[in-house]
């Protein structure tokens, strides 16, 4: 992710939406990593060079940038973030004017403009060059929006909450939201310095959050990722509560209230089979999509479903927001606790996971897995063995040079052996050193 590439991406997104909209304004926000300043400036240059104005909102969670894009009726929104990755990494996400991630088709249009070289010679006339404006109250607008999703009759007074902000985009907003609702907040990792985002903290490293819940005798713990679109939890005993558990008990809670439209929950192929079993026992059903919140949202919009998400803690409450939002997720979990009068451990007990093994293999290239010698035969044999008592999902990470292997089944030892066998073949043919 170089400044040169960021300039080209800025030019491409500006051209794409300048041809479609009327406002000719694009929102840019970021998380707290050091390279965000550099990429923000490069993107701004690219966008302005095409005659489109830029609205700069500074550090703000990804769902906040989605909200601001819609609220300001901008043509598009841009998020500079590598989510849960370390500070050395960075990436760029694009939203349409509706606050939705771009479709595969639009992304291909941008890629064609850049990699064909078409964008290089494109620029606007000097008198039409765009301007950049800073939106000073963006975080306040977003915070009030988030607070509006919490029931007015409920209060967090008397509740103690641990909040781990991963030194990321939620570091100012999330603790303040819970304090303003009356909670006693123990805030962790709220001092970003550009290089400590996700560093042994947040949703990828929740151990400190779990320990703090026990030490402070808190009612629950909340851990965000670097860009704030996820949340995972710890119950009052410090036990981890992941996205699958949250999706399950929130789906059942909404079903009881008659608010889970079609009695259907949308998850990805990586969610545990235990989710399906828990919903089926109460008359609900589960729809699975490809990995990625974009595909979850597409299915939710297509079928008018209220709830969906991923095991990683990316949860979409479509009645409140068009994308996953870690703070909204936490507020809805607390709302379910207060309305039911149950502790988080009690809510999470509705979910009994099927044994699952996940193995990552670092690769030197993302070659078509079907072309790896002998791998298809091994996968066929494993699928035949598992039949309807388990699943295997093999894919590449979208953000890292990793092949991800997930196998579920009733026999823990057997699926572990299978995972190691698959990993061994991939490592042999595609493995990276170190």
Catalytic residue numbers, as ranges: 83
Helix axes 326-340, 62-71, angle to 10 degrees: 100
- CA 192 distance to own-chain centroid: 20
Cβ 322 vs Cβ 293: under 8 Å: no
CA dihedral 32, 37, 40, 45 (to 10 degrees): 170
Cβ 87 vs Cβ 33: under 8 Å: yes
d(CA 29, CA 48): 16
**Burial class of residue 385, CB neighbours in 10 A (0-12, 13-18, 19+):** middle
Give all strands (DSSP E) within 363-413, no chain letters.
391-396, 402-408
What is the per-residue burial (b if ≥16 Cβ within 10 Å, else e) of 206-244?
bebbbebbeeeebbbbbbbbbbbbbbbbbbbebbbbbbb
Kind and range of the H or E run holding 4: helix 3-18
């Amino acid at each position: 992710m170089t400044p040169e590439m960021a300039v080209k991406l800025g030019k491409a997104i500006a051209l794409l939406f300048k041809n479609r909209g009327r406002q000719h304004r694009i929102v840019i926000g970021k998380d707290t990593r050091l390279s965000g300043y550099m990429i923000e400036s490069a993107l701004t240059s690219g966008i302005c060079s095409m005659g489109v104005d830029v609205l700069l909102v500074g550090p703000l969670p990804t769902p906040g940038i989605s909200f601001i894009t819609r609220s300001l009726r901008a043509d598009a929104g841009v998020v500079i973030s590598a989510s849960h990755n370390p500070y050395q990494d960075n990436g760029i996400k694009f939203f349409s004017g509706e606050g939705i991630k771009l479709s595969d088709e639009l992304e291909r249009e941008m890629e064609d403009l850049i990699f064909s070289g078409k964008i290089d010679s494109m620029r606007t006339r000097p008198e039409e060059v765009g301007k950049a404006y800073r939106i000073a109250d963006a975080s306040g607008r977003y915070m009030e929006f988030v607070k509006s999703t919490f029931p007015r009759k409920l209060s967090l007074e008397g509740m103690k909450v641990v909040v781990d902000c991963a030194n990321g985009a939620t570091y100012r907003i999330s603790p303040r939201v819970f304090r303003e609702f009356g909670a006693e907040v123990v805030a962790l990792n709220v001092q970003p310095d550009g290089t400590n985002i996700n560093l042994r903290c947040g949703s990828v490293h929740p151990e400190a959050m779990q320990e703090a819940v026990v030490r402070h005798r808190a009612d629950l713990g909340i851990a965000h990722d670097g860009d704030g679109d996820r949340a995972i939890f710890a119950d009052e005993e410090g036990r981890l509560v992941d996205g699958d558990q949250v999706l399950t008990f929130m789906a059942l809670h909404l079903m009881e209230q008659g608010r889970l439209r079609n009695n259907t929950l949308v998850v990805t192929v990586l969610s545990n089979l235990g989710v399906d079993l828990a919903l089926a026992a109460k008359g609900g059903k589960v729809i699975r999509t490809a990995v990625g919140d974009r595909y979850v949202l597409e299915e939710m919009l297509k079928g008018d479903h209220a709830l969906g998400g991923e095991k990683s803690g990316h949860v979409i409450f479509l009645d409140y927001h068009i994308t996953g939002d870690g703070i909204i997720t936490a507020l809805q979990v607390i709302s379910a606790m207060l309305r039911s009068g149950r502790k988080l451990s009690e809510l999470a007990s509705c979910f009994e996971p099927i044994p699952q093994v996940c193995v990552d293999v670092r690769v030197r290239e993302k070659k078509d897995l079907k072309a790896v010698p002998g791998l298809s035969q091994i996968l066929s044999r494993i699928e035949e063995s598992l039949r309807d008592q388990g699943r295997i999902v093999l894919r590449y990470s979208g953000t890292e040079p990793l092949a991800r292997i997930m196998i579920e089944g009733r026999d823990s030892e057997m699926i572990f052996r299978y995972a190691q066998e698959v990993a061994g073949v991939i490592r042999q043919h595609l493995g990276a050193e170190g």
